[in-house]
Structure 1
């Protein structure tokens, strides 16, 4: 995971998939904002003409991650016709299940995937498992700056990788 974290495959693609990272009272979290900033850099540089914002509704919130992100990118001047929302997912693998459906409907072949560096390994496994041709584009900055915060995120992500590995063994799809 750590070695893969800096794998950057950024290249032209049909869209950018931004993996959700939680909201606080209808606003994107600082981690989510980092991901959105990077996605907008990719979009504005012409690497991908469309953006898929992912993330469903956490029971503690009143809006989906995708809706909060849509508001954020709209405030940054991104045209509504270039933004697509996937609002059903609660887990990384579901981000790709549902984003893949949007891609198929729109006739898109490939995507740049934006997330935190330590999340990229699992994200790319999920993309592959759900048939999404994806290229890793980790955020160049992260809100997980201190050694303690990085260690905590790495421990959490290691646990998630183990759980996802078990799900893969048993063919869980959603």
Structure 2
């Protein structure tokens, strides 16, 4: 019986090592999978609780005219304003190299104008109800700029308007700036049109959320305004 004791001990040690190694492999997979599920889950939510402001996160603009991605967000924010979800719409985003307008200015121009990018007539929002915050090269920088403006103006709550897959990271960042924040994403625009595009952005945002949780900095993913 004594002769079998070393063999039994080695087997127990081997089993323990296998379990430890399996845990080391599985834990990151569970974290990534859980985060991806959370990105997908929050993307399906549309919280239209009343807020002080509706914040339209910036995306590309061309000579003061919003891209299709940005216009979809602006149209959704206008709908929220008209339904009384927020009394003020805040557009945010800085100026890229060589640009004449900031993303915030392009958004403001669209909201207070009486036509869409394609020339279709639309209802304008009063100029005093749209505030442009002309800062931010990414989501975190933009929301930090909005938070500074909110402190000056006494705003405390914000409904974040972006694309569905961006909702979890954006509202998390907004909350970390001190704003009470929730998301009402647009269901229009190029980013939500195909399953392939949706999957790509879910994976991208999963990486973005994990990176932010680890570093509390932005990934600087500038494409389509999801940085």
Contact 1:96 1:132 in 2 (8 A): no
1:19 paired residue number: 57
| RMSD (CA atoms) | 1.6
Normalised TM-score (structure 2): 0.70
Dislocated runs of 4+, deviation >3 Å: none
**Greater relative contact order (Cα 8 A, min sep 6): structure 1 or 2?**
1
Q: Which runs of 5+ in 1 are unaligned?
A: 170-174
Which structure has the highest helix share of the two? 2
Contact 2:60 2:103 in 1 (8 A): yes
Q: Which runs of 5+ in 2 are unaligned?
A: 1-38, 115-123, 218-227
- Counterpart mapping for 1:79-94 below 5 A: 79-94=126-141
Contact 2:68 2:189 in 1 (8 A): no
2:93 paired residue number: 55
- Counterpart mapping for 1:65-76 below 5 A: 65-76=103-114
What is the rounded CA distance, in whole Å, between the counterparts of 1:109 and 1:154 in structure 2? 29
User: Which moves more between the two structures, 11-20 or 23-32?
Assistant: 23-32
Per-residue CA deviations over 1:2-42 (Å, capped at 9, x if unaligned) read 11101222111111111111113331110111100010001
User: Which moves more between the two structures, 138-147 or 62-71?
Assistant: 138-147
2:44 paired residue number: 6
What is the rounded CA distance, in whole Å, between the counterparts of 2:73 and 2:89 in structure 1? 12
Normalised TM-score (structure 1): 0.89
SS in structure 2 of the partner of residue 3 of structure 1: helix
